Amino acid sequence: MSNNHIEVWNNCLKVIKDNIAEQSFATWFEPIRPVSLTDGTLLVEVPSSFFVEFLEAHFIDHLRAAIKRFIGPTGKLAYKIRMDSSDPSYTVTLPSSNRNFPKNPIGRPAPETLSQSPINPFAIPGLKKPQIESQLKENYTFDNFVEGDCNRLARSAGLKVAQEPGKTAFNPLLIYSGTGLGKTHLCHAIGLEAKRLHPDLTVLYVQAEQLYNQYATAAKNNNRPDFIRFYQMIDVLIIDDIQFLAGKTGTQEAFFHIFNYLHQNNKQLVITSDKFPTELQNMETRLLSRFKWGLTADLQMPDIETRTFIIKEKLYLNGIVLPDEIIQYLANNVRTNVRELEGVMISLMAQSSLNKKAITIEMTQQIIDRFVRNTIKEVSVEYIINIVCDYFKIPPEQLSLKTRKHQVVQARQIAMFLSKRYSNASLASIGQQCGKKDHATVHHACKTISNRLETDKQFRVMFSDIEKKVTLQS
Ligand code: ADP
Ligand code: MG
């Protein structure tokens, strides 16, 4: 009698198949597995709690009729959620009552909003059972991610999360840094390591932009619930560049549900951002507050020693040898971010092999000048003032005048902002040179300019013209 549950379920399926659309059957019934039949209760395994909701909403009559026919009038159906084996089974007595249902954060979807086939945007074609392509880059490993003071916390938290996904306090793990400092690399490293250690887990790396595009398509086709359901099946979900979702309220809302569901079910979330969470504008506060549940760790620009290690690591990976002198020169002179450091190295190697020339300091310098716009060695405040005043066609002395003339105030604020960004001068010294102001005024000016850069497109265009002059001419 041990296979009785299979026989009973197969009989049920035959009847149901005859009565519903082929596509619906394939989508909602084929993934179901019978588990046992005890005391008139047929236990079946389903991929998610959403499945239970959907089956109950759309096929309850068919299920009820089939169970009644093959088990008897007192027959019951119970569901077990497959994705998380620690989940308890949910017994649903037929006729069903919603009270016993697992919580579904997205609630019961309106029937017309559900498509007949679930979205699996990362399906591996040719395989019957939907499998998820993790989108992980094999060469972005922990081994290749050089450790330094600049990344120690984020790196070790990432490693911990990969070892015990969903089981540490680092959930979500939020990694933030400026561009080119290793967020994406670390994401892939976490994903690869999690997969290596836990081959059964479903790991997915996705850029927030992809998430947004998929959501937009789902919304257009009226199948948001499928979109959400797909992401709720993931065990380790890694979302890169979450700042992309700023202002995208629909996707944020959907992500909120995904987040809650995964978090409640002890699934691991890893999120990166190019801003500190509180600085993410146009992001729902309830989403931001969720990010604080876990750990926020930043990545800084590596110090010279770590930069040297990174260069050596990349050279080693590419099988290339550079004289120590050049390595030191690079580490000393590219101080913007690791991506630019890499860019210079690649150009250097390309140039040298194309021109069949040995790499020299001179050549390195030229390439740095060409490729790393922001690597400015010594920019003085005076130099910046001259460029800004020249741009606005006002004599530099005017910056010291006590005037409320917009043009002058604006020039002074831009000069202060650029000086803070590109000179080594202290706020006090910048203030002194830009019209004998104190450091608080400089601070205020920098804030004003930041705000305008975020909100005023025309201003942004003008500003970047001036900034280019500062960075290119130096
Ligand atoms: P982000 O996503 O923060 O913009 P990336 O992860 O794309 O930055 O990193 C840019 C490049 O710098 C990548 O090629 C990455 O491998 C490299 N990189 C950054 N930090 C490190 C590090 N600590 N060790 C080795 N490579 C690094
Ligand atoms: Mg990135």
Nearest ligand, CA of residue 209? 2
146 conformational bin, left if phi > 0, alpha if psi -120 to 50, beta if neither = beta
pTM above the 0.75 mark?
no
Alpha carbons 296 and 9: distance in angstroms, whole number: 48
Alpha carbons 268 and 406: distance in angstroms, whole number: 51
Output the six-digit token pair for 231: 């992401």
Residues with CB under 5 A from ligand 2 (ion): 183-184
Alpha carbons 54 and 59: distance in angstroms, whole number: 8
Q: Which atom of ligand 1 is nearest to the CA of 178?
A: 3
Output the six-digit token pair for 109: 């979807």
If one residue of 185, 244, 307, 372 were mutated to test the ligand 1 pocket, choosing by the most ligand atoms within 8 A of its CB, it would be 185
pLDDT in tens, the chain (474 residues): 457 999 999 999 999 998 888 877 877 888 889 999 988 889 998 876 667 777 877 788 899 999 999 998 888 888 887 643 333 333 333 333 332 333 333 333 333 233 333 455 665 544 333 478 899 999 999 999 999 999 999 999 999 999 999 999 999 999 999 899 999 999 999 999 999 999 999 999 999 999 999 999 999 999 899 899 999 999 999 999 999 999 999 999 999 999 999 999 999 999 999 988 878 888 989 999 999 899 999 998 899 899 999 999 988 887 777 889 999 999 988 888 899 898 888 888 777 777 777 888 888 988 888 777 554 455 789 999 999 999 999 999 888 888 888 999 999 999 999 998 888 788 899 999 999 999 999 999 999 998 898 888 889 889 988 988 886 654
* Dist. CA 101 → ligand 1 center (Å): 45
Nearest ligand, CA of residue 145? 1
282 conformational bin, left if phi > 0, alpha if psi -120 to 50, beta if neither = left
Non-local CB neighbours of 173 within 8 Å, separated by 6+ positions = 157, 158, 161, 190, 268, 269, 270, 271, 294, 295, 297
Alpha carbons 80 and 101: distance in angstroms, whole number: 11
Closest CA to 19 of 68, 59, 78, 74: 59
Residue of the nearest CA to atom 9 in ligand 1?
182
Output the six-digit token pair for 323: 């004289």
Instruction: Tally DSSP H helices, then E strands, for the chain.
Output: 18, 9
Tokens 């892939």 belong to: 188
| Domains along the chain with CATH numbers | 5-95 (3.30.300.180), 152-298 (3.40.50.300), 304-371 (1.10.8.60), 381-471 (1.10.1750.10)
